Amino acid sequence: MSASIRTAVIPAAGLGTRFLPATKAIPKEMLPLVDKPSIQYVVEEAVRAGIGDICVITSRNKAAIEDHFDRSVELEHALEASGKDALLGLVRDIADLAEVWTVRQGTPNGLGHAVGCARGHVGDGGFAVLLPDDIMHPSSTALSRMIEVHEEHDGAAVIAFMEVSDEEISLYGCADATPIGGDVVRLDGIVEKPAADEAPSNLAVMGRYVFPADIFDAIDKTPPGKGGEIQLTDAIAQLAAEGRAYGVVVEGGRFDAGNKNDYLRATVELALEHPELGEAFAETLRQIVRERDLT
């Protein structure tokens, strides 16, 4: 368990257009995976890595995120009065999970800009960034491993990478990297969503980052990039050029909650592993496959 990284920034200011109409009035991050909003998995992941201070970057229509991590006195009273102690515990535990703060991103200028909005909250220390479209399996130790590598390399930036196919690489940030032992690579460069034939590797940025506070200066110096937005990847490229960025290659344990099909897959996989629902749901799934002849 690390003492060096105490804050996690979760950029959650996007409009969630890929999930319309579900996200017309509800933040995308509040869509449930089985019985928990997806952002709760992300906060729990940070807490497991020893991080108790969470800064969520929000925008308009995101109040439900704040409400979710706050006390709900009325609900607690009602559950208490009706003797629903297990549910009461569940609801209280969410508010006790971590200190959750929100900072508004006034204008949607891209992921780099969103992370830059956390500067006042983060201050001078290192911090983690967790993109809530990427959900890690509850058994994943990737974030703790990244913090370890950050400490071993004098507080350098550490990015999580996964291997993807040639067809998929243009959807991700992509590493130009040199293996330096075990699961660690040195970043010689990094490029946001390259065309398949221009990608320096098949290592894709996975939505987990550990940064020194100097990433904020790099963000300030980053001109608009891909899509006319301030890209976090371009700010990381500056640290990579100074020899201050590394990668950890993570195998498995990631669910994509960023588009409808992958979201459904994440829901099914997590439902199958759910301690109370898993067995019954597996039977339901077998039934559906039989009835619809999907084998």
Of 19-27, 121-129, 130-138, 270-278, which part binds ligand G1P (CB under 6 A)?
130-138
Cα–Cα distance, 44 to 115 (Å, whole number) = 20
Cα–Cα distance, 157 to 181 (Å, whole number) = 17
Least distance between ligand G1P and beta carbon 148 (Å): 22
Of 146-154, 202-210, 260-268, 284-292, which part binds ligand G1P (CB under 6 A)?
202-210
Of 27-35, 38-46, 51-59, 127-135, which part binds ligand G1P (CB under 6 A)?
127-135
Exactly one of 133, 148, 214, 234 binds ligand G1P (CB under 6 A); which one?
133
Q: How many CB atoms lie within 10 A of CB 256?
A: 16
Exactly one of 19, 172, 216, 246 binds ligand G1P (CB under 6 A); which one?
172
The reply to whether omega before 21 is within 30° of 0 (cis) is: yes
Cα–Cα distance, 38 to 8 (Å, whole number) = 16
Q: Cβ distance 175 to 247 under 8 Å?
A: yes
Q: 134 or 176, CB closer to ligand G1P?
A: 134
Least distance between ligand G1P and beta carbon 185 (Å): 15
Cα–Cα distance, 211 to 146 (Å, whole number) = 10
Q: In the stretch 231-270, what mask flags binding to ligand G1P with x, by CB under 6 A? A: -xx------------------------x------------
Exactly one of 16, 116, 132, 173 binds ligand G1P (CB under 6 A); which one?
173
Of 42-50, 194-202, 204-212, 281-289, which part binds ligand G1P (CB under 6 A)?
204-212
In 3D space, the residue among 146, 141, 206, 140 whose CA is nearest the CA of residue 173 turns out to be 206
Q: Cβ distance 92 to 76 under 8 Å?
A: yes
Exactly one of 134, 176, 214, 234 binds ligand G1P (CB under 6 A); which one?
134
Rounded-to-10 torsion of CA 9, 116, 148, 65: 10
Phi-psi region of 243 (alpha: psi -120 to 50; beta: other; left: phi over 0): left
Amino acid at 92: R
Under the binding rule (CB under 6 A), the answer on residue 207 touching ligand G1P is yes
Under the binding rule (CB under 6 A), the answer on residue 204 touching ligand G1P is yes
Residue ranges in contact with ligand G1P by CB under 6 A: 111, 131, 133-134, 172-173, 192, 204-207, 232-233, 258
